[in-house]
Chains A and B, each alone.
Chain A
Amino acid sequence: MTSVFLLAFLVVIAVAIVRMRDLLAVSMLLGIYGLLSASFFVTMDAVDVAFTEASVGAGISTLLMLAAITLTGRSEHPTRHKPVLALFVVLITGCLLIYGTLDMPYFGSADAPIHLHVAPHYINNSMQEIGIPNIVTSVLASYRGFDTFGEVVVIFTAGMGVLALLSVVRRAENITKIDSINDSMHAEYLILRIVVKALIPFILLYALYVQFHGDFGPGGGFQAGVIFAAAIILYAMLFGMSTARRVINQSVIQFFAAIGVLLYGSVGVVALINGKSFLDYSALSADPVAGQHLGILLVELGVGLTVASVMVIIFFNFEGRRDVLQSQENNHKGDN
């Protein structure tokens, strides 16, 4: 029953997003949309997905939206033309989808085709074949480990893409200037800073817990990576980008992003060298189940490493662009 209400709420928020012109409000609503869909996923028993959607939909993507809006301006111009064509296309597509639902197996029915083929194998055999309780992790990291490898590469690609679009070559920054900015922020954010300083170790600890507990409960490399990155981003927001850049070297972060992908890939290559298929973890140890354990541990580590690094890269480069914009504006003022 909860799920019915959650879906209704989602519709309300989506409609509100259509009508809203203030982009700041839109991104907040999008965050709520992400959080609500995460709650919906919990009612659908998809705890791992809910965890990810909460950290991505409500967390990272809202943050990115805000970072982008500060650079592009927050209000949307009203459009003059009437979107009749768009409405028409959407209506046709929607009708086609509704038509398609008519022969679907009913919601929740246990004898739908997807519950009878392929999936039962995972539910019944994953314990003997892989030996960890969280079936989602088994499928994600082992049965369909190649998809997850692709997923890591997608994230890596996004990181490289953002670098290609937004990175700026910066000169060495003046340390005394950084200190003065730091001091001026200190007065303003004193309480927040103290709270955050106390919080960060716990956030990092929690990230590690999520990273290594993914075999037993919801969690895993992706969620852990996002949480880890969140801690660093929090630090950067309260202590200034310049200070953060001094603590976290950009080329080191890029190096880690590459290492994560390579770690995942090399687990596969080791299997190749041992004469097994790519990503066949049973090649890693004499006992196949122990090999699966080790393999999953390593690839999840690779995922976590790349995700955390890329999230930091993306955030830092968005913020770095603001400095460029500001210095451009200052130069303009100087010219006048």
Chain B
Amino acid sequence: MVMTKNSIHNLEAIASQVRRDIVRMVHACQSGHPGGSLGCTEYLVALFFEAMDRHREFELDGIGEDLFFLSNGHISPVFYSVLARADYFDPAELVTFRQIDSRLQGHPTTHEGLPGVRVASGSLGQGLSVALGAAQAKKLNQDSRLIYVLMGDGELQEGQIWEAAMYAFHNKMDNVIAAVDYNGAQIDGPTEQILSLGNLRAKWEAFGWDVLEIERGNDMTAVVRGLELAKSRTGKGKPVMIMLHTEMGNGVDFMMGSHKWHGIAPNDEQLAAALAQNAETLGDY
């Protein structure tokens, strides 16, 4: 599918609003993880508003539609904002993020019945396995739709990821498009210093995956094209991995280029500065 310039503009406009939502949510409750959320904004917007074939109404089983799983659940602000802007629930509910009696828990959960969430995540390393189970169910149901899953790069330090990686190759899970948010940072510092991932592409290739890279993961055109390419590589006997190069904190100048904003909230002045850099396009909640 050829994207028109206009639709890229539309996606960018949605991304701008999502970034506003993220910083406002995290500011309001003075907790949460803005850095990774901002970095994955283009990817989630491109997925939900362009790449995925999904139904209007949310049904947990998701028969006959593409499904998305967020494994690195701490980037819940971007997930919630995108779900709300995609009409799974009213954006006004974003104001309850991390507050008492909310469906928008600190980390995503099915427990409160929030539409769009299919499994709890937050304890890292589990999402790829769950996605593979859902992909197996699709194959059993002869449902040709795809499973998407996003993981953090620091998350790849969890051993369960590599159990799942082996399983996906062995079982030819070619209806899965996984992505790694390859921002090179985790909460304690650069991944290279904490526990090096080494040659990550070679690792996934050695595990038998079809690997492609989106070098500019915060460029909407590049992300949309990358997702189109990834989709074209499904159904060929191998699971597909996208190395999604992003920048933690992208879109808010003082949050970029550091792991510092992984898990802290902006103050009032910082919020104002962040909002000044991201136009209100769909109306603040």
A-B complex is real = no
